Amino acid sequence: MSTSVLFVCLGNICRSPLAEGALRAEAARTGLDLIVDSAGTGNWHAGEPPDLRAQAVARRNGVDISALRARQVRTADFRRFTHVIALDHDNLSILRKLAPHGATAELSLLLDHVEGREGQAVTDPWFGEEAGFETTWAEVTAAARTLARALQ
Ligand code: 4NP
């Protein structure tokens, strides 16, 4: 089974699409063959493209996430993906409850993959200022670098 990573936040329009874009870019840069996707524990934004502020921060960093579309996480994801990575603790605990019997995916918190940031959450930038998206981008990029190395 090839390595596959699903990033999960609440709406799948801010944090997890940025994590998906960052890891796709890092995999391409390092020649790593990886399946990458993202989803939300909520379904309010299903079918929508990423928030324009998320698209903009990715674009400023050379990554186009405009074609991504939000979807809700489903129980099949726990077998389809080898790694399911939550952006914060609330979403991690929702995932733990949703995981069906026979789930094979390894569940983790995104910043557990970043040295010195273990146990921390990627704060939701949705309600805040534009600058929050820069912070999110820096965090997901740091995680993408270590993940790409670890999954090689
Ligand atoms: P995300 O941000 O979980 O990073 O995609 C959010 C986007 C929308 C909402 C919450 C969080 N919302 O409540 O609609």
Closest ligand 1 atom number to CA of residue 17: 5
Domain of 48 in residue numbering reads as 4-151
pLDDT attached to residue 11:
98
pLDDT attached to residue 69:
98
The verdict on whether 37 is a catalytic residue reads no
CATH number of the domain within which 140 lies: 3.40.50.2300
Does ligand 1 have an atom closer than 6 angstroms to the CB of 15? yes
pTM of model > 0.95 = yes
Of 9, 24, 37, 77, the catalytic one is 9
pLDDT attached to residue 27:
98
Closest ligand 1 atom number to CA of residue 9: 3
Number of domains in the chain: 1
pLDDT attached to residue 64:
98
Does ligand 1 have an atom closer than 6 angstroms to the CB of 63? no
- DSSP per-residue string spanning the chain: ---EEEEEESSSSSHHHHHHHHHHHHHHHHT---EEEEEESS-TTTTPPPPHHHHHHHHHTT---TT----B--TTHHHH-SEEEESSHHHHHHHHHHPPTT--PEEEEGGGGSTT-TT------TTS-THHHHHHHHHHHHHHHHHHHHT-
Q: What residue's CA is closest to ligand 1, atom 12?
A: 11
Ligand 1 midpoint to CA 125 (Å): 8
Does ligand 1 have an atom closer than 6 angstroms to the CB of 148? no
Q: What is the mean pLDDT of each run of 10 residues along the chain (152 residues)?
A: 94 98 98 97 98 98 98 98 98 98 97 98 93 97 97 91
